[in-house]
Structure formats: structure tokens, C-alpha cells
Chains A and B, each alone.
Chain A
Amino acid sequence: MEIVIETPNSPRKRKGANWEKYGWMYMRISGAVLIVLIFGHLIVNLWDKGVGAIDFAFVAGKWTNPFWQVWDVLMLWLALIHGTNGMRTITNDYAEKEWVRKTLNITLWVVCGALIILGTLVATTFDPCIDPNAVNYLPTVCK
């Protein structure tokens, strides 16, 4: 039904599209998924063998398995967008001048986009045997 408001009382001006609802939903959904992804990540990387065991060979070994590739790429996307959107909330809160806010937000999303592309490329085009000469770095698969 069409509602006619008899006396519209100076409604606030709405500028541009409004994604806030989706942003809010996204924070919650991504947060829930990230719990699994991040804790899985932490357990494998920090708990199992400890940070001391992380080296090229470890990473390369992991990424030969498409399971971990998908895992890490998903985590990358979800976490970066979650974090960037969260940072946007914060700049919206505290940046008083419109231009400062705009600049910060654009910077945030550019960085976010760049890192997503970079990270995704790294994980998907990764070649474990990148440097056959560097024998001592290589994961076992290359040997």
C-alpha cells in the first residue's frame, strides 16, 4: 500500500546509495566464517609446530594442496574486506572533515583491493619449485 504522509517533516537528505545494511550483515557473516578460518590457520601455523617451523618450504608444502589454497584465499578476501570495512566505520566516526574522511576511505579500499589482488595471485599462481637451484629451500614435492 502506498503510504502518504500528510506532513513530511524535513526528512534528512540521503546522499547516494546506501550499503550500510549489507556492510553490517557482511561483518557478521564474515566474522562467523573467519572464526573457523583464522583459528584453523593459527592452529596449523603457530600451534602445531610453532612459528619456528614456518619457512618457505612449509608454505610451499601447504599450497601444493588446493584445500589450503582455497582456505587461505578465502581467508584473505573475507578478512581484508572485513577489516577494511571495519576501518571505514572507524574513519567515518572520527574523521570530522569530509575530505579527510573521503581520502582515508579511498586509501583504505585501494590498499584493500591491491592486497587482495596481490595475495590472490600469490596463492593461486604460486610455484613451489620457483627456484630449482635453491635446493635447500624447496619443499619435498620438488625434489
Chain B
Amino acid sequence: MAKLPAGTLYRGKVGMWSWVLHRITGVAIFFFLLVHILDTSLVRVDPEAYNGVMATYKTVIIGFGELGLVAAILFHAFNGVRIILIDFWRKGFKYQNLMFWIVVAIAFILFAGFAPRHLMHVFSYNN
């Protein structure tokens, strides 16, 4: 492999950072999904064990983790739509920048709606 100079960080714009985020969120969701399938599978094995695991899901820490997961899914999903539009819509490339901010806005609004309600659920369970 060629010798890469360890130079400065490349100062890409929205396109590059959205891709970085898309990749990170994709990986995060992937690993969550692995765990999620395994834990759900417990329903086939032993209801008690399943409920035991679900109880840990309901702790505050995991509750916050789930917030993060939802945020990741929101971004990944809507940015996925943005990517699809860039690929298939003739004017997609022109509005990619604008679309990124729309993605962030939609994700943020939905998140803002979800977070309080989710936290309510989490805290009410723990009380």
C-alpha cells in the first residue's frame, strides 16, 4: 500500500460528513440489530428469560441508549432517502446540500417529538 502522508483532516463539506454519519449510524444499527434478534429469539426459548432481558432494556441507561438508536435510525433512514433521490431524481445532485439540512431537520423534529415521550415511558417504568 502506498505511503499516505498523515496530513490534515480533509475538509470535505456536507456530502462527505453526511456519508461519515451514514456509515457510523449504519454500523451502529447493524450491531444493535444483531443483539436485538438474539434477545427477541429468547421468546421462543423461555419467556422468563425474555422478560428478564427486557427488564434491562427498561433501565435508564439503556433507555438513553435507545434514544441514540432512534436518532441513528432517523438520520440513517432519511439520509438514505436523500441518497436515493440523488441517485434517481434528475435534480437530486443539485439539491443534495439542501436535502441534507432537510434530513437533519426532519430527523430532529421527529426526535424531539419522540424523546420526551420515550423518556416518560422509561422513567415511569422505573418508578
Task: Report if A and B touch in the complex (beta carbons < 8 A).
Answer: yes
On A, residues with C-beta under 8 Å from B are 28, 31-32, 34-35, 38-39, 42, 46-47, 49-56, 59-60, 76, 79-80, 83-84, 86-87, 90, 96, 111, 115, 118-119, 121-122, 125-126, 130-131, 134, 137-138
What would be 24 A-B contacts, judged by CB atoms less than 8 Å apart? A31-B77, A31-B84, A32-B84, A34-B77, A38-B77, A39-B77, A46-B66, A46-B70, A46-B114, A50-B120, A51-B66, A54-B57, A56-B43, A56-B48, A59-B43, A59-B50, A60-B43, A90-B27, A96-B1, A118-B37, A122-B43, A122-B44, A126-B43, A130-B44
Q: CB within 8 Å of A: which of B93-127? A: 114, 117-118, 120-122, 124-125
Asked whether B7 is an interface residue with its Cβ less than 8 Å from the other chain, the reply is no
On B, residues with C-beta under 8 Å from A are 1, 23, 26-27, 29-30, 33-34, 37-38, 40-41, 43-44, 46-48, 50-51, 54, 57-58, 63, 66, 70, 73, 77, 80-81, 83-84, 87-88, 114, 117-118, 120-122, 124-125
Q: Nearest Cβ in chain A — how far from B48, in angstroms?
A: 7
| Interface majority SS (helix, strand, loop, mixed), chain B | helix
